[in-house]
């Protein structure tokens, strides 16, 4: 090519990065690797090959972990946990700082190895993945430093099993390992089978940093090894990033085990372009949204929604830009789009796109290398919202889109998905953008931007995109538990029918259910007699059924506008409930005494504590503030606490009034509607309590009460698709049923595994409840020039 031709085409020459150092590191390792357990590499054993997807060449042979490898890793992590968790935060901060520095020192090696192993362009691994990894360790060195003073009363969880995907191999490792270590946990991590090499290099720097043996353990292998970790009895928490399908299986597999769980799953994130957007910036944003990392990004802006009036102009600009994308050797610094991770993934994407018959498909005109796992940047427009490609995660460089007319329609289309990970909003009108952002069901919303990440801002999804956040103070919470003592709770049974029951009161005293603001008879028409401990008949309770749960959930869903009321109004109503309860204090105390057999003074104390609790959440309603995170960009990342939605809860059995109020008040203070199943043995305090609710200006449907058997109602409640969270404080251990049934729509669960909690004291109220009642949404708003 002559100089004049180069000037004419303004084409770049190739600028390949050298792979020599990374290949030498592989040779040093003998091209065969074992696991990293208890501070040392094990001898290589039977395994599998790790290939460069751009060329197909074998980079190394890795060992497939056996059950005894996983056992050894868990044992090492358990042994290390004792000392590691007891070190002052500052000690752990020093190690995290050392890891951050070593990542920076070996940045080039990490970047090249990542690109060789994964196929992503070196520009990305060098400028995005690896710097974000270092930033993550720095940030968490800071959290480790501050944890003792800022989060007293918290303890680490123990041994964390961490399973990560192949799209950001080292970055996902950092997102998992850094907060776990900062909080004082130890780790058994499994990288994805396609991309384990940077994790093994990370093992090297753990040794270089002098990290105590067993704090980080890395085992390699496929999903079968993942399952061994998930099912291991010696593990206290599972943190998983990957497909929704596997996430759901893990939710079901860990049900009832007492293991903590966070899931970062798939997405089909909307990318909304309004007609007043800066269209050129929005096109450039799309290059980042869907062609960054070949579209293999869980939060990829993979669903384009463009306002009708500008759609044609926008598509034309987009196609022109696509044609200019450069696809090829990922090690070439001039490349925009590299190789997909593996032929399996290439075939998956090909099959999905080939099966589509709708819309217009446009493939970028840029030339494709002849060999290697490449797939052309593709745009499919004119699809219907229900088309498979508009709903399913493609996880490749394929953008699908349709148009909308009004902002309301944009919101409707954007939320028409089972996922809720991320969203981008493009508009030059700040009023419009900030009106739309809170309406989108997504854990992260970027205004006039996309794929912005930082260690200080939590990342994570809603709906079937999983639960839990990674990054920021909120992410750290997922590796901590409150440090209050608990012990096993025995099932509390109703007082039984005496041998010679007294003559029944001729007046029917069957307490009804409370659904949609009205008293309702149980659908099945059954009831159960409720006695005092001495056998006096107090009345009857309605036995709620699956159908009553359905009605209650429906009523709660029609009260979702409660979330839009002001926090001030919610506070006022909580105070008003307290005032009305206070007026009937003696009557409630007598009722509790009759039901439970408690001394009058103790029963009065319960009523007083319930009144105080209502005040607590009246106080919190307008004070559980979000945050503005200090992310490194000209702009703000606003962390907003949003209500979870509709919460179903099994209330504590032992304290029929305080237990119910302690669960209800934080839920409604944060704007949720709820379905409460009160104390099973002592339900009549709850049915008296709804008379208080009826006179306290609470809108119909915000609180619904269904009395009945916890064991019978737990499953239909946990399985209901229109519930967003289920909590259980029952004395019957229903955690397995609830967590297993909740896997359907991956609703949040908070279960006690039938362990006690001191409802009268700090363990019975406060931030843990407020956090369970909210989801953090991070809205990124860049500004300035
Ligand atoms: P995957 O979810 O199967 O793999 C992720 C990780 O989980 C890997 O480390 C894998 O070994 C492990 N794993 C697999 N089965 C497991 C099991 N039963 N128990 C425990 N661990 C298990 O993802 P895969 O098959 O690699 O990709 C398939 C699709 O999943 C992609 O096309 C994409 O749509 C989606 N995906 C989404 C990711 C995200 O970040 N949201 C990341 C990776 C994949």
Q: Hey, whose CA ends up nearest to atom 43 of ligand 1?
A: 242
CA distance 13 to 5: 12
- Residue 778 falls within a domain, yes or no? no
Ligand 1 center–CA 335 separation, angstroms: 27
Measured in angstroms, how far is the CA atom of residue 242 from the centroid of ligand 1? Answer: 4
User: Does residue 276 sit in the same domain as residue 260?
Assistant: no
Question: Which ligand 1 atom is the nearest neighbour of the CA of 348?
Answer: 32
> Could you tell me the distance, in angstroms and rounded to a whole number, from the CA of residue 329 to the centre of ligand 1?
25
Residue 581, pLDDT > 70, answer yes
Q: In this structure, is residue 491 part of a structural domain? A: no
| The pLDDT of residue 29 | 84
pTM of the predicted model over 0.80:
yes
Based on the fold, state whether residues 219 and 310 are members of the same structural domain: no
- Residue 734 in domain: yes
Catalytic residue among 114, 124, 193, 264: 264
pLDDT band per the 50, 70, 90 thresholds, residue 391: very high
Q: DSSP labels for 262-329?
A: EEE-----EEEE-TTS-HHHHHHHHHHHHSGGGG--TT---EEEEEHHHHHHHHHHHHHHHHH--BS-
Does 27 share its domain with 175?
yes
Range of the domain at 148: 19-265+476-481
Q: Is the pLDDT of residue 233 over 70?
A: yes
Active site residue 264: yes
Task: Classify each residue of 754-777 as buried b or exposed e, where b means 16 or more C-beta atoms within 10 Å of its C-beta.
Answer: bbbbebbeebbbeebbbbbbbbbb
- Pair 229, 138 in one domain: yes
Contact 213, 39 (CB under 8 A): yes
Whose alpha carbon is nearest atom 38 of ligand 1? 242
Counted residue by residue, the chain has a size of 785
The CB of 165 under 6 Å from ligand 1? The reply is: yes
| CB-CB contact of 629 with 457 (8 Å) | yes
The reply to whether 466 falls in a domain is no
Residues 341, 451 within the same domain: yes
Query: Domain tally for the chain?
Result: 3
For the ranges 4-18, 404-418, 540-554, 657-671, which has the lowest average pLDDT?
Answer: 4-18
CA of 408 to the centre of ligand 1 (A): 34
Indicate which CATH number applies to the domain containing 122: 3.40.605.10
Query: Using one digit for the tens of pLDDT, what is the confidence trace for 40-79?
Result: 999 999 999 999 999 999 999 999 999 999 999 999 999 9
Indicate if 166 and 53 belong to the same structural domain. yes
Query: Mean of the pLDDT values across residues 397-423?
Result: 98
Q: Which of 460, 489, 520 is the last residue of a domain?
A: 460
For residues 437 and 298, state if they share a domain.
yes
User: What pLDDT band is residue 300 in, cutting at 50, 70 and 90?
Assistant: very high
pLDDT score at 5: 77
- Which ligand 1 atom is the nearest neighbour of the CA of 246? 2
Distance CA 776, CA 444 (A): 9
3-class secondary structure for 50-111? EECCCCCCEEEEEECCCHHHHHHHHHHHHHHHHHHHHCCHHHHHHHHHHHHHHHHHCHHHHH
My answer on whether 238 and 353 are in the same domain is no
Residue 593 has pLDDT above 90, yes or no: yes
- Could you tell me if 388 and 355 are in contact, meaning their C-beta atoms sit under 8 angstroms apart? yes
Look at residue 742 and tell me if it is in a domain: yes
User: Are residue 711 and residue 587 in the same domain, yes or no?
Assistant: yes
Domain co-membership, 418 together with 527: no
Residue 288 CA, ligand 1 centroid: distance in Å: 23
pLDDT of 267 > 70? The answer is yes
Q: Compute the CA torsion angle 171, 177, 179, 180 (nearest 10 deg).
A: 160
Quote the CA–CA distance of 654 and 683 in Å, as a whole number: 10
Please give the Cα distance from 417 to 413 (Å, whole number).
8
pLDDT grade for 785, boundaries at 50, 70 and 90: low
**Atom 14 of ligand 1 has which residue's CA nearest to it?**
223
Q: Look at residues 283, 264, 267, 191 and name the one whose alpha carbon lies nearest to residue 441.
A: 267
Q: What are phi and psi for residue 409, nearest 5 degrees?
A: -70, -35
pLDDT (mean) for 21-28 = 95
pLDDT at 14: 86
Mutate to test the pocket of ligand 1, among 70, 162, 165 (most ligand atoms within 8 A of CB): 165
**Residue 503 pLDDT greater than 70, yes or no:** no
CATH number at residue 394: 3.40.309.10
User: Which one is predicted more confidently, 630 or 466?
Assistant: 466
Among protein residues, the one with the nearest Cα to ligand 1's atom 10 is: 223
SS3 content of the chain, % helix, strand, coil (to 5): 40, 20, 40
Sign of CA dihedral 193, 239, 743, 562: negative
Residue 636 belongs to a domain: no
- CA-nearest residue for atom 15, ligand 1, is 223
Query: Do 254 and 277 belong to one domain?
Result: no
Kindly state the average pLDDT of the residues 763-775. Answer: 96
Burial of residue 386, with CB atoms counted within 10 A of its CB: 0-12 exposed, 13-18 middle, 19 or more buried: exposed
In a domain, 167, yes or no: yes
Q: In 145-299, at which residue ranges do the beta strands (DSSP E only) sit?
A: 154-156, 159-163, 186-190, 216-218, 237-241, 260-264, 270-273
With a 6 A CB cut-off, is 392 part of the ligand 1 pocket? no
Residue bearing the CA closest to ligand 1, atom 28: 243
Q: Given this model, what pLDDT does residue 505 score? A: 65
Q: Above 80 in pLDDT, residue 322?
A: yes
At residue 442 the predicted structure's pLDDT band, cuts being 50, 70 and 90, is very high
Residue pair 657/607 in contact (Cβ under 8 Å)? The answer is yes
CB of 249 within 6 A of ligand 1: the answer is yes
Tell me: do 207 and 318 sit in the same domain.
no
Q: What is the mean pLDDT of the chain?
A: 96
CA of 247 to the centre of ligand 1 (A): 8
Q: DSSP label at 464?
A: G
3-class SS letters over 751-766? ECCCECCCCCCHHHCC
Ligand 1 and 581: CB distance under 6 A: no
**pLDDT range class, residue 6, cuts 50, 70, 90:** confident
pLDDT digits (tens, 9 = 90+) for 123-155: 999 999 999 999 999 999 999 999 999 999 999
Least confident of 46-60, 390-404, 505-519, 670-684: 505-519
What whole-number distance in Å separates Cα of residue 159 and Cα of residue 77?
6
Q: What is the largest CA-CA distance in the chain?
A: 109
Q: Is 235 in the pocket of ligand 1 (CB under 6 A)?
A: no
Specify if 632 maps to a domain.
no
């Amino acid at each position: 090519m002559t100089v004049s031709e180069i000037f004419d085409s303004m084409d770049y020459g190739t600028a390949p990065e050298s792979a020599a150092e990374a290949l030498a590191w592989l040779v040093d390792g003998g091209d065969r690797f074992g696991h990293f357990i208890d501070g040392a590499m094990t001898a290589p054993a039977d395994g599998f090959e790790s290939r460069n997807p751009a060329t197909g060449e074998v980079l190394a042979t890795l060992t497939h972990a056996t059950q005894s490898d996983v056992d050894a890793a868990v044992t090492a992590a358990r042994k290390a946990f004792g000392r590691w968790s007891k070190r002052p935060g500052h000690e752990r901060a020093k190690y995290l700082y050392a890891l951050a520095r070593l990542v920076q020192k070996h940045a080039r090696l990490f970047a090249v190895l990542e690109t060789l192993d994964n196929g992503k362009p070196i520009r990305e691994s060098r400028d995005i993945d690896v710097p974000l990894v270092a930033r993550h360790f720095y940030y968490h060195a800071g959290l480790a430093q501050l944890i003792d003073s800022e989060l007293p009363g918290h303890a680490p969880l123990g041994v964390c099993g961490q399973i990560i995907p192949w799209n950001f191999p080292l970055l996902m490792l950092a997102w998992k390992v850094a907060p776990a270590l900062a909080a004082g946990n130890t780790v058994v991590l499994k990288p994805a089978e396609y991309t384990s090499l940077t994790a093994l290099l990370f093992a090297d720097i753990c040794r270089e940093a002098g990290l105590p043996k067993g704090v980080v353990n890395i085992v390699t292998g496929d999903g079968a090894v993942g399952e061994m970790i998930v099912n291991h009895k010696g593990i206290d928490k599972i943190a998983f990033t990957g497909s929704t399908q596997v996430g759901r299986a893990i939710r079901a597999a860990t049900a009832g085990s007492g293991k903590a769980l966070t899931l970062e799953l798939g997405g089909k994130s909307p990318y909304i372009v309004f007609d007043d957007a800066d269209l050129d910036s929005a096109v450039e944003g799309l290059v980042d949204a869907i062609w960054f990392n070949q579209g293999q990004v869980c939060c990829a802006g993979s669903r384009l929604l463009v306002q009708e009036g500008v759609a044609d102009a926008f598509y034309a600009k987009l196609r022109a830009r696509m044609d200019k994308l450069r696809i090829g050797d990922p090690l070439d610094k001039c490349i925009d789009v590299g190789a997909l991770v593996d032929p399996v993934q290439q075939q998956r994407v090909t099959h999905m796109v080939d099966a589509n018959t709708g819309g217009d498909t446009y493939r970028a005109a840029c030339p494709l290398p002849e060999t290697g796992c490449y797939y052309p940047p593709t745009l499919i427009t004119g699809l219907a919202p229900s088309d498979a490609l508009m709903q399913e995660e493609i996880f490749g460089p394929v953008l699908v889109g349709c148009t909308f007319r009004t902002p309301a329609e944009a919101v409707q289309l954007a939320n028409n998905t089972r996922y809720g990970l991320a969203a981008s909003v493009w508009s030059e009108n700040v009023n419009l953008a900030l009106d739309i952002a809170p309406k989108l069901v997504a854990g992260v919303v970027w205004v006039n931007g996309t794929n912005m990440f930082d260690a200080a801002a939590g990342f994570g999804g809603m709906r079937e995109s999983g639960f839990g956040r990674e990054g920021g103070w909120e992410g750290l919470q997922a590796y901590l538990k409150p440090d209050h003592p608990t012990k096993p709770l025995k099932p509390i049974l109703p007082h039984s029918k005496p041998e010679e029951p007294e003559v029944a009161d001729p007046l029917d005293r069957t307490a009804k259910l409370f659904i949609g603001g009205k008293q309702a008879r149980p659908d099945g028409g059954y009831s159960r007699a409720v006695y005092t401990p001495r056998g006096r008949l107090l009345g009857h309770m309605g036995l709620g059924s699956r159908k009553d749960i359905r009605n209650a959930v429906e009523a709660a869903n029609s009260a979702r506008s409660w979330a839009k009321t002001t926090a001030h109004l919610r506070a006022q109503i909580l105070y008003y409930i307290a005032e009305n309860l206070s007026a009937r204090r003696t009557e409630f105390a007598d009722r509790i005494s009759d039901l439970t057999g408690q001394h009058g003074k103790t029963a009065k104390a319960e009523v007083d504590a319930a009144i105080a609790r209502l005040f607590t959440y009246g106080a919190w309603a307008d004070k559980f503030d979000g945050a503005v995170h200090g992310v490194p960009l000209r702009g703000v990342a606003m962390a907003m606490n949003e209500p979870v939605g509709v919460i179903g809860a099994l209330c504590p059995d032992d304290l029929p009034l305080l237990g119910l109020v302690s669960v209800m008040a934080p839920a409604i203070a944060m704007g949720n509607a709820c379905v409460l199943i009160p104390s099973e043995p002592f339900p009549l305090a709850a049915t008296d309590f709804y008379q208080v609710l009826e006179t306290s200006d609470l809108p119909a449907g915000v609180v619904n009460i269904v009395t009945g058997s916890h064991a019978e109602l737990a499953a239909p409640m946990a399985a209901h698709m229109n519930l967003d969270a289920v909590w259980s404080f029952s004395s019957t251990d229903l955690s397995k049923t609830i967590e297993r049934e909740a896997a359907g729509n991956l609703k949040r669960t908070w279960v006690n595994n039938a362990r006690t909690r001191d409802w009268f004291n700090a363990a019975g109220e406060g931030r843990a409840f407020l956090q369970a009642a909210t989801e953090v949404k991070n809205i990124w708003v860049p500004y300035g020039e």
